[in-house]
Amino acid sequence: MTNLNFILPALGPGRPYPPTFWRLVLLLAAVAFLASVQPGRAQDVSRYTFAASSGTFTPVVGGTVPHDMYVPAQTLSKNDGISSAITLPFPFMYGGVARTTLQATTDGYIDFSGAGTYSQSDNANATAVGMSLIAPFFDDLNGVSGTASYAVTGTAPSRVFTFEWLNWGVYSGDAATATPSLSFQVKLYETTNIIQFVYRPEGSAPTPAPSARIGIEGNSAAVGGRGNFVSLTDASAAPVLVDNTTSTAEFNAIATRPAAGQVYTFTPGTNLAARTALGTGSLEVFPNPAQRAFTLRLPALAAERTAQVTLFNSLGQQVQARLLELVPAGTQTQIDISTLSSGLYTLRVQAGSHTAAQQVAVE
């Protein structure tokens, strides 16, 4: 409970506090409460929204091939291999934390913890403290017949980091061979912090059948404990999800491959509100949800004269852009969304060195 005694003036016996005073007290209490709960909420990846869609798997061309952490001369392909730290080209906010490096594994996931020493091929027991991972197809896999690589596309502040497992196979007991059965990618989007998985089956169905895990996981709080997570229970075009509010563990028995061009998208929840900061103020969007248009209000930005306003869909694709003339005292404009389909969009505003983003729901 917040102690408000320090703001209670001594009015003397029998003198009531005015109504305006009590409104101030309630406001301060609300601010204190939000400040105490917001950090924990911002780090919970179970608040990410999920969408399944159809797209195209486009292989990485001319990418960087990562090397094994323990055998630097060897590329990342052997059974239970893990890469050395890969530096991201931009800070990527994941679970409310800015990530600057990651490690990739041969077992179909990337790890943000920075403490990986081997690939945890047993996805049912991968519960090490600090594990913070993104898993497009986490299973006991082998890449000796394929290629792992990564690349960066686009220009700041709309770059995309893609990590690809091309022609990967399920481990069959022979670390020297693997029949390719699946290619897949993780895409990390700058500014919007959206995560995408994209797939393409290769050859015939894998033997043995996979027992995979697909989803995202935040940090675990205790040894052997589960973090917050979103987990798919199948690899269909409309998968059923579980998370840490509905299940005690991620689902780890997906036995089929996603279809060619299947895309799974995870978008940070609207509670990750720190991104709305712009200069000494913040951007405002109303109404939200919106139907045919919404109003964008920006604070005063004394040193800036224009701002680039861009709207992205849930796939991270730009659907609208305009250059906005700024008013020194603060700017307000209306954004027409009458041609957009219903869904969740990300509005990004960049004015000089100031960048902010806000999610907008279109009905």
Q: What is 174-188 written as a DSSP string? A: -TT-----EEEEEEE
Q: Are residues 147 and 283 in the same domain?
A: no
**332 shares a domain with 219:** no
Does residue 294 sit in the same domain as residue 316?
yes
Confidence tier at 25 by pLDDT (50, 70, 90): very low
Name the percent of the chain lying above pLDDT 90. Answer: 40
> pLDDT at position 16, please?
58
177 and 248 both lie in a single domain: yes
Q: What is the mean pLDDT of the chain?
A: 80
Looking at the fold, whether 204 and 66 belong to one and the same domain comes out as yes
Mean pLDDT score, 48-74: 92
Distance in angstroms (rounded) separating the CA atoms of residues 176 and 33? 57
Distance of CA 302 to the CA centre of its chain: 32
- The string of DSSP codes covering 21-63 is HHHHHHHHHHHHHHHHHHHHHHT-GGGSEEEEEE------SSP
Specify the pLDDT at position 294: 94
For residue 212, pLDDT beyond 50: yes
Residue 84 clears pLDDT 80, i.e. is over it: yes
pLDDT of residue 248: 81
- The structure tokens listed for 337 are 């969304």
Max intra-chain CA distance, the chain: 87
Residue carrying the six token digits 């709080």:
221
226 in the same domain as 158: yes
Of 267, 286, 304, which one is at a domain's C-terminal end? 267
Q: 101-115, 118-132, 149-163, 196-210: which has the highest mean pLDDT? A: 149-163
- What local confidence, expressed as pLDDT, does residue 255 receive? 93
User: Which residue, 217, 236, 267, sits at the end of a domain?
Assistant: 267
Residues 279 and 260 in one domain: no
Looking at residue 200, what is its pLDDT?
Answer: 98
Structural contact between residues 297 and 283, judged by C-beta atoms closer than 8 angstroms:
yes
Which residue range forms the structural domain that includes residue 185? 45-267
Q: 204 and 278, same structural domain?
A: no
In this structure, are residues 311 and 343 in contact, taking their beta carbons and an 8 Å threshold?
A: no
Higher pLDDT, 298 or 184: 184
| Residue 15 shares a structural domain with residue 72 | no
For residues 328 and 307, what is the distance between their CA atoms, to the nearest angstrom? 12
User: Both 71 and 170 in a single domain?
Assistant: yes
Q: For the residues 58-78, what does the mean pLDDT come to?
A: 90
pLDDT tens-place string over residues 277-288: 566 667 888 998
**Model pTM greater than 0.75?**
no
- What mean pLDDT do residues 9-18 have? 52
Same domain, 263 and 278: no
| Residue that terminates a domain, selected from 267, 284, 306 | 267
CATH number at residue 282: 2.60.40.2550
Query: Which one of 47-61, 73-87, 302-316, 347-361 scores highest in mean pLDDT?
Result: 47-61
pLDDT, one tens digit per residue, over 300-351 is 887 888 989 989 886 667 899 999 999 888 899 999 999 999 888 888 888 8
Q: What is the pLDDT of residue 351?
A: 83
**Tally of domains within the chain:** 3
Residues 138 and 157 in one domain: yes
Q: What's the rounded mean pLDDT across residues 196-222?
A: 85
CA angle (278, 279, 283) in 5-degree steps: 25
* pLDDT for position 221: 46
